[in-house]
């Protein structure tokens, strides 16, 4: 059985509107036409979708169940039609239009900014929107084309493209180590001040540091917590403690000797970095090209952080 999409759209319209009268006001389609379309749909499905009474109509259990499928179907159709329109435009005029990207804060002003600047230089006709996610995993699939993240959010129809892996290490300012001394083992970190990134769950118990000699848990004594890596790095530069930061993120400060490695032989496992996207959008050339560029940039990630932090006057 092949359903007429016009019937499905009429049913979904009435469900969203709450009544035939409101559906008519929203769409301009007469109540009589909508009512006939609903009756035809019920006949084709062999079920009653609405209980009809003098004061109006209410959906049946079958109607409510069918509605959940209808919304998914219509969203998929809408996405595919938009994709088709985009591809037809690209065939005639090259890459254009808009691209909306979100990034977790640890990748925003370094990796994501670097990649999107390269992309825009190559495709000047694309309007690119780059936003920082409010917190890890917060991106809504229907609002974005791609989401740069370390952990894939649990969202239906969202696919994750693995871009590569990022190494992390422990870092501190020379002034901090001069005052407090160098830790010899990870266990010594419990006696040192630390600047800690606050995760969405707040759970740091599972993080391990590894060396050739085995593994030890990372248990910092947090005197500063934040959800922003730039704040974390700034406090670290100013001598407030030791921080676990992406290696590429602190490369400029290492060159300027504003930061130095701490326990360099002890490292957590590299973090994976993904670009998550709605599967029906991936065929778009804009997103394909951006993701290819991101993979290339992960391989050369040390060049992605060009902004050097500075120590505040009178601190450290």
**pLDDT digits over 25-61, tens only?**
888 899 899 999 999 989 988 999 998 887 778 889 9
The answer on 174 and 197 residing in a single domain is: yes
Q: How many domains does the chain have?
A: 3
The answer on 112 and 233 residing in a single domain is: no
The residues near 34 (Cβ < 8 Å, ≥ 6 apart) are 10, 13, 14, 20, 23, 24
At residue 303 the predicted structure's pLDDT band, cuts being 50, 70 and 90, is confident
pLDDT in tens, 102-142: 888 878 777 888 898 899 998 888 888 998 887 655 556 55
At residue 171 the predicted structure's pLDDT band, cuts being 50, 70 and 90, is very high
Q: 183 near 242, Cβ under 8 Å?
A: yes
Cα 233 to Cα 16, 99, 112, 245, 307: the distances in Å are 48, 30, 18, 8, 12
Of 90, 108, 128, which residue is a domain's last?
A: 90
- Residue for token digits 């985009």? 86
Please say if the pLDDT value at position 97 is more than 60: yes
Can you state the percent helix, strand and coil of the chain, rounding each to 5? 45, 25, 30
Residue 313, in any domain of the structure: no
pLDDT in tens, 247-300: 988 999 999 999 999 999 999 999 899 998 877 665 577 888 889 999 998 888
Average the pLDDT over 202-215 and give the result: 76
Specify the pLDDT at position 307. Answer: 67
Specify the pLDDT at position 268. Answer: 94
Residue 310, in any domain of the structure: no
Specify the pLDDT at position 184. Answer: 94
Specify the pLDDT at position 150. Answer: 85
Please say if the pLDDT value at position 217 is more than 60: yes
Mean pLDDT of the chain: 84
Residue 45, in any domain of the structure: yes
The CATH number of residue 77's host domain is 1.10.10.10
Please say if the pLDDT value at position 203 is more than 50: no
Residue 106, in any domain of the structure: yes
Specify the pLDDT at position 200. Answer: 47
Average the pLDDT over 185-192 and give the result: 94
- Domain enclosing residue 48, as ranges: 5-90
Specify the pLDDT at position 259. Answer: 96
Residue 107, in any domain of the structure: yes
Specify the pLDDT at position 137. Answer: 54
CA distance 18 to 58: 8
Specify the pLDDT at position 78. Answer: 75
The answer on 205 and 154 residing in a single domain is: no
At residue 202 the predicted structure's pLDDT band, cuts being 50, 70 and 90, is very low
């Amino acid at each position: 059985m092949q359903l007429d999409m016009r019937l499905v759209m009429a049913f979904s319209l009435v469900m969203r509107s709450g009544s035939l009268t409101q559906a008519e006001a929203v769409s301009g389609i007469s109540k009589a036409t909508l009512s006939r379309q609903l009756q035809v749909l019920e006949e084709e499905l062999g079920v009653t979708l609405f209980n009809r009474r003098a004061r109006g109509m209410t959906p049946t259990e079958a109607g409510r169940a069918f509605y959940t499928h209808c919304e998914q179907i219509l969203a998929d159709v809408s996405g595919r039609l938009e994709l088709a329109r985009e591809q037809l435009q690209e065939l005639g005029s090259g890459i254009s239009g808009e691209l909306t990207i979100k990034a977790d804060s640890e990748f925003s002003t370094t990796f994501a900014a670097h990649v999107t600047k390269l992309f825009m230089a190559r495709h000047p006709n694309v309007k690119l929107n780059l936003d920082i996610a409010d917190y890890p995993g917060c991106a809504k699939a229907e609002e974005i084309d791609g989401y740069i993240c370390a952990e894939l959010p649990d969202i239906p129809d969202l696919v994750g493209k693995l871009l590569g892996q990022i190494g992390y290490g422990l870092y501190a300012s020379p002034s901090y180590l001069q005052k407090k001394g160098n830790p010899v083992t990870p266990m010594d970190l419990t006696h040192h001040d630390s600047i800690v990134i606050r995760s969405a769950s707040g759970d740091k118990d599972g993080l391990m540091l590894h060396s050739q000699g085995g593994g030890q848990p990372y248990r910092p004594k947090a005197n500063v917590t934040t959800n922003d890596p730039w704040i974390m790095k700034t406090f670290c530069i100013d001598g407030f403690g030791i921080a676990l930061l992406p290696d590429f993120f602190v490369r400029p400060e290492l060159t300027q000797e504003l930061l130095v490695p701490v326990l360099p032989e002890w490292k957590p496992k590299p973090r994976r970095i993904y670009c998550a996207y709605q599967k029906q959008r991936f065929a778009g050339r804009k997103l394909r090209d951006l993701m290819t560029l991101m993979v290339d940039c992960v391989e050369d990630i040390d060049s992605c952080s060009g902004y050097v932090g500075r120590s505040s006057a009178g601190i450290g």
